[in-house]
Structure 1
Amino acid sequence: MTKYAKEILDIVNASSDHLTAEEVYLKLKAKNSKVVLATIYNNLGTLVKNGDVRKIAMDGGSDRYDKTIRHDHLICAKCGKISDFTFEDLTESLEQQSGIKILSYDLKISYICDDCKKNQ
């Protein structure tokens, strides 16, 4: 793993937020002024491909990056806020219903967060 990849992985793993590539860039740039945004995108792509970082594709917004620890996401349809939530592992149930071997799944549930409900 390259020096930048390790630093990017550390930033993602240390964050309680779901960071965009630009946010990762700003955090790393504060430590290393020579880094460029393309380096962040290239390394995030490699980290996702290798299974070290989880990519959350956002409809109509920037992709987010997260830890690989098993958890699910609640995404507010109004403001885009992402909240971590751990549901019961559905692998066995999905396999029984589908008749296929499930390697992995990514559960993203769209909802309206409490703040947006208050503002309606």
Structure 2
Amino acid sequence: MTKNAEYILEIINNSKNHPTAEQIFLLLKEKNEKAVLATVYNNLSWLYGQGLIRKISAEGNPDRYDRTERHDHLICRCCGKISDARLDDLTETLQAQLGIQILSYDLRISYVCPDCRKNSDNAS
């Protein structure tokens, strides 16, 4: 693993806010001023391909990156904010319902976050 890949993995594993490639790039520049955005995208692709990070895609928003620790996500349909959700592991339930053994699953729950709900209420 290259130094840049190590730095990017560290950034993602220490982040609580699901950073975009551009946000990761800005943090990487603090450690390696010669880094370019293409370096970030190439390393993110490699890290994802190795199963070392998760990619969270939400329609109309840039991809975000996350650690691989088992958890699910709440995604605001209005502003795109992503929050972690700690739910019971559903692997056994899903396997029983599907009748097959699954390797993993990624639950994304669409909702309207409290800030957007509040702004919507104030606009009424």
TM-score class normalised by the smaller sequence: over 0.9
User: Which structure 1 residue ranges, 4+ long, deviate > 2 Å from structure 2?
Assistant: none
Distance 1:51 1:114 in 2: 32
Partner SS for 2:34: coil
Residue ranges of structure 2 left out of the alignment (5+ in a row): none
Normalising by structure 2, what TM-score? 0.94
Report the count of equivalent residues: 120
What is the alpha-carbon root mean square deviation over aligned residues? 0.7
Q: How does 1:18-97 map to 2 (within 5 A)?
A: 18-97=18-97
Q: How does 1:78-117 map to 2 (within 5 A)?
A: 78-117=78-117
Q: One-letter code of the match for 1:46?
A: W
Residue ranges of structure 1 left out of the alignment (5+ in a row): none
* 1:31, distance to aligned residue in structure 2 (A): 2.0
Partner SS for 1:119: helix
* 1:8, distance to aligned residue in structure 2 (A): 0.4
Identity, in percent, stands at 61
